[in-house]
Structure 1
């Protein structure tokens, strides 16, 4: 029943309407490999209509009082928490993660609205005397303008609120293009924001099976002034090229290849717990997932054994079933990619530590896997795995661990486990990533800036700096 309750058309200018061509596309249930629902399939014409609505609403929305913008976000936070169970079920059906994780994501998503509700009234400026004493320097902050927000399928609600929250707080109107695999959560969020009092045209949602057809014309149109994207580095590079023509403000949260380092002095119980969280959150389908697990040679075998024992005991099944701990991957391509990476590593000499096990035949499942003796040139150490596979690699000393950890074009997040405070600081400062988890496997929180360096992206989302991405600084010179 929860799927039937979601509006499945485009949200443009406060109205739910079909695509101009009346085309629709299917959303699949990955746990059963069968259609779940059909939603409107937007085209270039629909995208530009959404931009017309956002551009028309921008001046009035920018003038809206910060307190009013914050109160809308606070009401939306309350509605998300009130409907947590239904929204979690919807997410599990379209994305696959177990219900317990979906409930956690709804709570996490809601917190972005609560956080930015509080930030809306803290947008500041400045006033100072000019150095020559004859004038004054005023600084004020204004919304960037209409923003294009492109969200991924792996966290379909939280990645939406992480972008929509600061845009609303800053006074920006939006066009949101959710991932074609998981549009239902965003469509449900659109209804909730309307119920919370968001004015017509401030949030517009265009669902499409052909992302390029709707995104590129928006980037080429001078009325969009900001683009925020979460997804692969390959697509991010393309969007940056397309954004250059209009010199758009960009935020890019791109791929990751996160190292997790277990030092010789680490508490192994704590390290295994942290590795489970860093690797298995969201079935391993997360840009923050531990992709390369480096353990000191004195503890590598024991760490791999304990990790394999924990991962091998996880219950694989449909996310809606009681007791399920690992759901399906998002689609058949994902299973093929993960299987290909593991197969290539095994052929090159890697060893599977977890025993072979059966998974449900129907749906896109992959059994949790721990690998040892992984060759240094294995593809799965270079590419983002995006699945429940943990390669464990030994290292001899801290210098080698840092060199191996930093030997990647990516730089989103890293993890280190040690009981030595000095070592922890050396790693935290030496790791070339935008975020570091010390003795913990989850770093994400609305109160902290999320983002990476190198090929992992530009800008930050969340924390006090999250709203900065949607604000321009204006300098006013006063001659006194």
Structure 2
């Protein structure tokens, strides 16, 4: 499962300049692989391979492409254990979490195997002229995919599957912290029947130069990126020069609102998922937790009890719930958030101290009385830290929840369905979990508003991101 070279045109090859970089196990800080680091020349070779393969792939029927994706789903499902092991090794997440990601990743192949045959157009009559209006969806062209380290498999399959279903070849640049999982996927896609050149993988430490060069090439028609808003802004600037179609899934700052009538046990369980999935290293992670003052103390007690039972350690070991964070920078940033909040008046109810052990660990932490000027209120924590605040007024908590440049996901817990729907509609977020701590689903349009992104992944919309609508006017 551990391929370490570039994958271009169906072949494994080293970087054109011989460059490499090391991949670490976050639990031990030991080197687990040395991977080829792609250059601009390698990027151009990938574009050549994708261009050569494009005509055949887009010429295949939707059913033919769908059957290959279905086979990919079956092969991936047969190897869930292997992929989960590799995800844990390079990312650090606990084995159960890694298995959850593996299952989720496979589902994108199944969903888009079914959606490949449903790129339906339309036909109608123009009211004024009487001409027929025919609309069809065509593959946009070569797509560059840039994925983050927090979901090494799922962020790739969530882009690859719809692109292939649409008829597009892709070049994927995985995060340099976690390239092994995406490289391991390539033999599986070969076995499923994906032709050479349709999927190319370029691990690289020179991400800016490599992706920037591809964005300048007129053959690239789509850039799909998942990552920070800061990097997303730079890619949007690069895409503007050649008017490349952007699909951006960027940062989040999710509010989690618990009203006084909520089922507190259900809300605490939901927060465990919304906060602690992937150790909080997720753009969907609950970041600002607002609990009505009438139930604040009871909720905190229930939630602290749940967090205290989590066992931290090497994610490969049995019974571990919380693995290490992905690297030292992420761990240190989480620690700084906690220190800043405490210095400004927050109370530590659990955790809050970096352990003196090998690996990039930070313990499950619960803070209460977090002030509005704490840095963690305005920025993504991206770690296992729950920052809890209280509220008294519905309109005020909605205002506070919306008071951010981000708009990816929000969570609401209440027993009153009417209020739940009203609050959900008032929240300026692309997704809302109403009495649910998990919103991600291959069949649903995943994405945000404001500076959390452009476009959607998953659902019917996900495939349309890789297609262009063509309108034909004809009279008969």
Residue number in structure 1 paired with 2:406: 410
Counterpart check, 1:130 vs 2:123: no
Q: Match of 2:225, SS?
A: strand
Q: Match of 1:222, SS?
A: coil
Q: Match of 2:101, SS?
A: helix
Which of 363, 366, 370 is 1:370 aligned to? 366
Q: How many pairs align?
A: 476
Which of 153, 163, 182 is 2:159 aligned to? 163
Q: In structure 2, do the counterparts of structure 1 residues 355 and 42 end up closer, same or farther at CA, with 3 Å as the change threshold? A: closer
Counterpart check, 1:176 vs 2:157: no
Render the CA deviation track for 1:124-151: whole Å, top value 9, x for unaligned. Answer: 1122233356532211111000000001
Q: 1:141, 1:472 within 8 Å by CA — same for their partners in 2? A: yes
User: Partners in 2 of 1:240 and 1:336 — Cα distance?
Assistant: 29
Residue number in structure 2 paired with 1:47: 43
User: Partners in 2 of 1:357 and 1:233 — Cα distance?
Assistant: 29
Unaligned runs of 5+ in 1: none
Residue number in structure 2 paired with 1:441: 437
User: Partners in 2 of 1:180 and 1:123 — Cα distance?
Assistant: 34
User: Partners in 2 of 1:150 and 1:176 — Cα distance?
Assistant: 6
**TM-score by structure 1 length?**
0.98
Render the CA deviation track for 1:261-292: whole Å, top value 9, x for unaligned. Answer: 00010110001000111000000000000001
User: Partners in 2 of 1:312 and 1:386 — Cα distance?
Assistant: 19
Which of 191, 205, 210 is 1:214 aligned to? 210
Counterpart check, 1:95 vs 2:91: yes
User: Partners in 2 of 1:357 and 1:137 — Cα distance?
Assistant: 64
Counterpart check, 1:282 vs 2:278: yes
Q: 1:305, 1:353 within 8 Å by CA — same for their partners in 2? A: no
Counterpart check, 1:232 vs 2:219: no
User: Partners in 2 of 1:130 and 1:358 — Cα distance?
Assistant: 66
Residue number in structure 1 paired with 2:388: 392
Residue number in structure 1 paired with 2:328: 332
User: Partners in 2 of 1:461 and 1:372 — Cα distance?
Assistant: 34
Q: Report deviation, 1:461.
A: 0.4
Render the CA deviation track for 1:171-199: whole Å, top value 9, x for unaligned. Answer: 00010000000000100111211111000
Which of 16, 19, 44 is 1:20 aligned to? 16
Residue number in structure 2 paired with 1:306: 302
User: Partners in 2 of 1:202 and 1:355 — Cα distance?
Assistant: 47
User: Partners in 1 of 2:397 and 2:186 — Cα distance?
Assistant: 45
Which of 292, 295, 301 is 2:291 aligned to? 295
Q: Match of 2:473, SS?
A: strand
Q: 2:253, 2:288 within 8 Å by CA — same for their partners in 1? A: yes
C-alpha RMSD of the superposition? 1.1
Q: Report deviation, 1:360.
A: 6.5
Counterpart check, 1:462 vs 2:470: no
Q: 1:147, 1:224 within 8 Å by CA — same for their partners in 2? A: yes
Which of 194, 201, 205 is 2:197 aligned to? 201
User: Partners in 2 of 1:387 and 1:444 — Cα distance?
Assistant: 19
User: Partners in 2 of 1:225 and 1:28 — Cα distance?
Assistant: 34
Q: 1:263, 1:418 within 8 Å by CA — same for their partners in 2? A: yes
Unaligned runs of 5+ in 2: none
User: Partners in 2 of 1:394 and 1:101 — Cα distance?
Assistant: 30
Q: 2:351, 2:366 within 8 Å by CA — same for their partners in 1? A: no
User: Partners in 2 of 1:183 and 1:272 — Cα distance?
Assistant: 34
Render the CA deviation track for 1:407-439: whole Å, top value 9, x for unaligned. Answer: 111000000000001110111101110000011
Residue number in structure 2 paired with 1:401: 397
User: Partners in 2 of 1:217 and 1:133 — Cα distance?
Assistant: 45
Q: Report deviation, 1:244.
A: 0.1
User: Partners in 2 of 1:376 and 1:439 — Cα distance?
Assistant: 25
User: Partners in 1 of 2:74 and 2:333 — Cα distance?
Assistant: 39
Q: 1:317, 1:359 within 8 Å by CA — same for their partners in 2? A: no
Q: Report deviation, 1:477.
A: 1.6
Residue number in structure 1 paired with 2:27: 31
